[in-house]
Amino acid sequence: MNFSYNWIRELVPGLETEPEELMRLITMKTAECEGLEQIEADAIIEVDNKSLTHRPDLWGHLGMAREVAAITGKKLRDPVKLDLLPKGQAPIGIEIEDFALCPRYSALVFENVTVQPSPAWLQDRLEAIGLNAINNIVDITNYVMAELAQPMHAFDAEKLHGSTIFVRSARTGEQIAALNEESYNLGPSNLVIADAQGPIALAGVIGGLHSAIGPHTKRIVLESANFQAASVRKTSVALKLRTDASMRFEKSQDPTNTVQGLARALELLEQVSPGIRVVGGVADSRGELKTPPPIELSVEWLKAKLGRALEAHEVRSILESLEFGVEEHAPGRFLVWVPSWRATKDISIKDDLLEEVGRMVGYESITPRAPLIESVVPPEDASRKYSRRVRNMAVAQGFNEVYNYSFVTEEMARAFHIDVAEHVGVANPIASGQTLLRASLLPAILKNIVDNSRHLHSFRLFEIGREIHARGGALPEEVPHFAAAMYAREGDGRESLFELKRLAECLMDGCEARLAAARPFEHPERAAIISWRGEDVGRLFELHPLLGVEGRAAILDLDLTTMEKLDVRERRYQPWSRFPISAFDISVAAGLRELAVDIERRLAAAAGSDLVEIEFLREYTGAPLPPDRKSVTFRLTVGASDRTLSSEEVAAIRERVIAATGKPPD
Amino acid sequence: MVEEQIQQLQSSALARIEEAKDLDALEQVRVDVLGRKGSLAQFSVGKLAPEERAKAGKALNAAKRALENAFETRRQAFAAEALDTRLKQEWLDLTRPAPGPRPGSLHPVTIVQNEIEDLFTSLGFAVLDGPEVETEYHNFDALNIPREHPARDMQDTFWLSNGHLLRTHTSPVQVRGMEKLGPPLRMIAPGRVFRNEEVDASHEHTFYQLEGMMVDRNVSVAHLIYFMKTLLSAIFHREAVVRLRPGYFPFVEPGFELDIRCLICDGVGCPVCKQSGWVELLPCGLVHPNVLRMSGIDPDEWGGFAFGLGLTRLAMMRYGIDDIRLFASGDLRFLRQF
């Protein structure tokens, strides 16, 4: 919303504060000013619309002028002269179907209208605040709106059918051609203004094209109405049609303001359309306009909430400067009546008045103070702690953390063979990449790999993020996952897989990899399930070459919740054996696909209860072994906890182990 | 006569020791001279007269000691030389890079978030978590933003096929926190939030917030300012100067925008603060009584403050990042810098 400094000065006579300083004051006390534009003989203060969401009155200059008057201690000049309104029988009837949707509809009829360009002062003023000058009649409706925050509309009376204006819900199938030359299909959720034939305006949003003011218009119906905020908003959102009127009405305008708008328009129309005559009296239909009860307010409560000293007279003078009615019924205790333009939604409880007093005394006058509260140890968030540990471990092992979006495309999901039905869909995406919520971190990890492989020969990265799995209409299941990837442009890919396996072991001491049938996006011969303490926690695999990565990439994908659940460790000190141990190496010739873990188990079983440790040393293939054989070497450490093993005993163990090397796997 | 022979043997052996080219040659000399079948051992004194024998024995022993000494000296020289050679061969270029991975990096938002979590836990705040997919009730209604409220426009929302939405702020965790913990409570809730917006260098549809809330008896604006000042001074490692001005958020009353005195120019005016000397940093306020009531807390007995901190923005300020899109780019050229 743009405010003209000159306009405000007209309404606050004697205002001497410079625009720059005024802008600062408004920002500190009322609403955020975003900019100041100096134009010929005026200055335009631009106020952030978001900061006016709760203030219907600030959508007009009078409301802002009232703030300025209160801030600067000046008097406000109300431009409205209600006694200008004609008395007598109204020439048109008004029928409101539902006063909840239209609390009030007021109108005046004028004849002998001359439609012509507005005088320069009017055009300049509208254009200064960003409104287009159209013709004198339309310009006056916009002027009154910009001044009083009361949207108005002028119909060409000769184009209306019948002499009654209906405010009703649109019927299914009804249409309207609007002033913007668009046509809209309407239904019962849209409130319309209608004549005997059909809709002539979308209530509170836009006028109809057929009854618009034209160069030959002689007779007009000037509407000044009040519509329910929710209803206007619903229509405006549904039809994607935001107008100066709808923006104001959706902030809950003041129904007492309709006749003020008419009085002000009447005065101005006489200036810009010479010879114009008002016909009859004011047509005014309204429901019961309720005056809210006064609010109880005590100075003690205000002081406690602000954390600042405050005098009763300060409170009274602030509230009165903003035109609240104030009665001090006991020392320091007030009854406060809210003015109608603040009473629609903005102010209804004492907390709202706290803001009025607080902003006017100035928040900078409050000294920061530490509260007196119990010193407590906050409850622990174990999952967060665990995630941190995982992150730190991954970083220690050389991985860089990435954050990826929670969105995937159907194409990305399909590349990983995830059923689209498992995903939660986005109903209103604005970009093409946002149709589904991710049910796996892997599609984005693949993208990270492809993107980074353009610049780097090798890298390690990881993400902790949530998989989101659809559960019908219930909130989806959000499953935190840890996904790590290693990429190398050169090499046979082994190092990446074993580095990731090592990372898994760093995170889960003693976890195991179990060869698994590969999923379609996994290398068919390089896929394993990672299990820990008897439960499956995730997978380790190399990406299938057909996924289009130049080079090789391996991925470790783990379920964080399961990991955390299994991560229970009671640490107790264990004394070690005081007796010497001895070690020997054993090489086993085996088939190429015989698993190291199986050989290890066999040797360990053969070694028996005196085995302290068995350690994989190396694997060898190549000459002089035949191409389908390999040699695997282990180091076995043996010892007893209660004595020194004799060399004969050690030799016997060694014999047993050697005997076991020849045995085929069970 | 015998002594002469011994003398001769000794000098020829000494000469051989001296001439030995390497350890093997030296060893050969030792075997030849000092070995069990060596020339010294062969030297028989048995045939000599007893008085001669004693003399010869003495001379033999002296020769043996001299040779052994010479031999040992020579051997040590060889060993020293060999060690020297080995060590020389073991010259290592320690300027070469060490193998193995270097530590990776945490995401800049993680770093900032961890820091702030630690700060708040040290002040007795619990860290809470909430779902990224929220109900309309928790994201809006329970925060005093009913349907058709124009404040819903302040947050463009991603609506989902299941009727729910992607949370537009971390404020719903306030509601969940109040429902779960009840008063008094001190909590923060960091997390990922979503706005259905076009993306450019300063706008993202996905970013990170940290919501904070304290509910207790007699909570005042003075307390809110105290916590914010303490927090910001700790974050920026210097005394933060802050100011409050009115701001509208339906879940607080009164609501504030908190500005911090520009850290770049110290309030003098610069492009970062648009010459105003102040940078808008976080929205905050006293918790609206409707919000307390909806979460089952009696606003006549309890009050509170709440604030929302933009973690992404904070990370941008901290590290001088001028393009918000980098955070979700997954680009390691960016991420490795932290």
Residues A224-246 pLDDT 10s:
999 999 999 999 999 999 999 99
Given this model, what pLDDT does residue B262 score?
Answer: 86
Same domain membership, residue B74 and residue B154: no
Pull the structure tokens for residue A517. Answer: 């049938």
For residue B101, being part of any structural domain is answered with no
Q: What distance in Å separates residue B94's CA from the closest CA in chain A?
A: 22
Confidence of residue A103 (pLDDT cuts 50, 70, 90): very high
Whole-angstrom distance, CA of residue B80 vs CA of residue A319: 100
- Supply the range of the domain harboring residue A460: 383-566
**Straight-line distance from the first to the last Cα atom of chain A, in angstroms, rounded to the nearest whole number:** 82
Whole-angstrom distance, CA of residue A564 vs CA of residue A80: 70
Rounded mean pLDDT of A1-29?
96
For residue B193, being part of any structural domain is answered with yes
- Mutation pick from A243, A434, A475 vs chain B, by most beta carbons of B within 10 Å, is A475
Same domain membership, residue A390 and residue A454: yes
Reported as a single tens digit per residue, the pLDDT across B103-121 is: 999 999 999 999 999 999 9
Cβ count within 10 A of residue B324: 19
Same domain membership, residue B270 and residue B182: yes
For residue A374, being part of any structural domain is answered with no
For residue A19, being part of any structural domain is answered with yes
Query: How many domains is chain A built from?
Result: 5
Same domain membership, residue B288 and residue B203: yes
Same domain membership, residue A455 and residue A324: no
- Helix A136-148 to helix A120-128 angle (10° resolution) is 50
Please provide residue A384's backbone torsions phi and psi, each rounded to the nearest 5 degrees: -65, -40
Given this model, what pLDDT does residue B49 score?
Answer: 78
Same domain membership, residue B238 and residue B170: yes
Reported as a single tens digit per residue, the pLDDT across B119-134 is: 999 999 999 999 999 9
- Supply the range of the domain harboring residue B268: 108-335
In this structure, what CATH number is given to the domain that contains residue B273?
3.30.930.10
Same domain membership, residue B287 and residue B205: yes
For residue A326, being part of any structural domain is answered with yes
For residue A644, being part of any structural domain is answered with yes
Same domain membership, residue B18 and residue B157: no
Instruction: Specify the DSSP element, H or E, that contains B214.
Output: strand B206-216
Of the candidates A32, A377, A430, the beta carbon closest to that of B257 is on A32
For residue B102, being part of any structural domain is answered with no
Reported as a single tens digit per residue, the pLDDT across A31-46 is: 999 999 999 889 999 9
For residue A157, being part of any structural domain is answered with yes
Same domain membership, residue B85 and residue B172: no
Single residue among A566, A598, A615 that ends a domain in this structure: A566
Residue type for position A32 = E
Given this model, what pLDDT does residue A666 score?
Answer: 45
Contact B221 A391 (CB under 8 A): no
* pLDDT, averaged across chain A: 95
Please provide residue A114's backbone torsions phi and psi, each rounded to the nearest 5 degrees: -115, 120
For residue A378, being part of any structural domain is answered with no
Same domain membership, residue A473 and residue A398: yes
Nearest C-alpha neighbor of B337 from the set B324, B325, B320: B320
Given this model, what pLDDT does residue A664 score?
Answer: 53
Pull the structure tokens for residue A605. Answer: 């079983």
Same domain membership, residue A231 and residue A89: yes
Contact A359 B255 (CB under 8 A): no
Contact between B247 and A51 (Cβ < 8 Å): yes
For residue A372, being part of any structural domain is answered with no
- Mutation pick from A101, A301, A437, A468 vs chain B, by most beta carbons of B within 10 Å, is A437
Of the candidates B125, B160, B206, the beta carbon closest to that of A425 is on B160
Contact A371 B216 (CB under 8 A): yes
Q: What distance in Å separates residue A205's CA from the closest CA in chain B?
A: 15
Single residue among A329, A364, A399 that ends a domain in this structure: A364
Confidence of residue A292 (pLDDT cuts 50, 70, 90): very high
List of residues 6+ apart from B215 with CB closer than 8 A: B178, B183, B184, B185, B186, B287, B292, B297, B302, B303, B304
Pull the structure tokens for residue A84. Answer: 């200008």
Confidence of residue A665 (pLDDT cuts 50, 70, 90): very low
Reported as a single tens digit per residue, the pLDDT across A441-481 is: 999 999 999 999 999 999 999 999 999 999 988 999 999 99
Whole-angstrom distance, CA of residue A429 vs CA of residue A214: 41
Reported as a single tens digit per residue, the pLDDT across A310-324 is: 999 999 999 999 999
Q: Which stretch of A51-60, A428-437, A584-593 has the lowest confidence by average pLDDT?
A: A428-437
Pull the structure tokens for residue B223. Answer: 């307390």
Of the candidates B150, B246, B335, the beta carbon closest to that of A250 is on B150
In this structure, what CATH number is given to the domain that contains residue A448?
3.30.930.10
Strands A458-469 and A400-401, bridge-based pairing = parallel
Reported as a single tens digit per residue, the pLDDT across A601-652 is: 999 999 999 999 999 999 999 989 999 999 999 999 999 988 999 999 999 9
Single residue among B29, B57, B89 that ends a domain in this structure: B89
Same domain membership, residue B207 and residue B75: no
Pull the structure tokens for residue B70. Answer: 């010479």
Contact B288 A351 (CB under 8 A): yes
Residue the block writes with tokens 């209804």: A348
Same domain membership, residue B253 and residue B205: yes
Same domain membership, residue A211 and residue A175: yes
Contacts of A364 in chain B (CB under 8 A): 243-244
**What are the residues facing A202 on neighbouring strands?**
A192, A206
For residue B99, being part of any structural domain is answered with no
Range among A94-98, A379-383, A418-422, B227-231 rated most confident: A94-98
Q: Which residues of A183-215 are buried (b: 16+ CB within 10 A; e: fewer)?
A: ebebeeebbbbbbeebbbbbbbbbbbebbbbee
Contacts of A355 in chain B (CB under 8 A): 246, 253-255
Same domain membership, residue B294 and residue B246: yes
Same domain membership, residue B145 and residue B34: no
Given this model, what pLDDT does residue B179 score?
Answer: 87
Residue the block writes with tokens 């086993």: A588
Same domain membership, residue A473 and residue A514: yes
Contacts of A461 in chain B (CB under 8 A): 104, 330, 332, 335
For residue A342, being part of any structural domain is answered with yes
Same domain membership, residue A348 and residue A408: no
To the nearest whole percent, how much of chain B has pLDDT over 70?
99
| Number of CB pairs, chain A paired with chain B, less than 8 A apart | 248
Nearest C-alpha neighbor of B121 from the set B219, B189, B192, B217: B189
Same domain membership, residue A154 and residue A37: no
Same domain membership, residue B221 and residue B126: yes
What is the predicted ipTM? Answer: 0.87
Same domain membership, residue A619 and residue A588: yes
Confidence of residue B207 (pLDDT cuts 50, 70, 90): very high
Q: Is the pLDDT of residue A169 over 60?
A: yes
* pLDDT, averaged across chain B: 90
Single residue among A286, A304, A327 that ends a domain in this structure: A286
Pull the structure tokens for residue A283. Answer: 């047509």
Residue of chain A with shortest Cα separation from B147? A230
Query: How many domains is chain B built from?
Result: 2
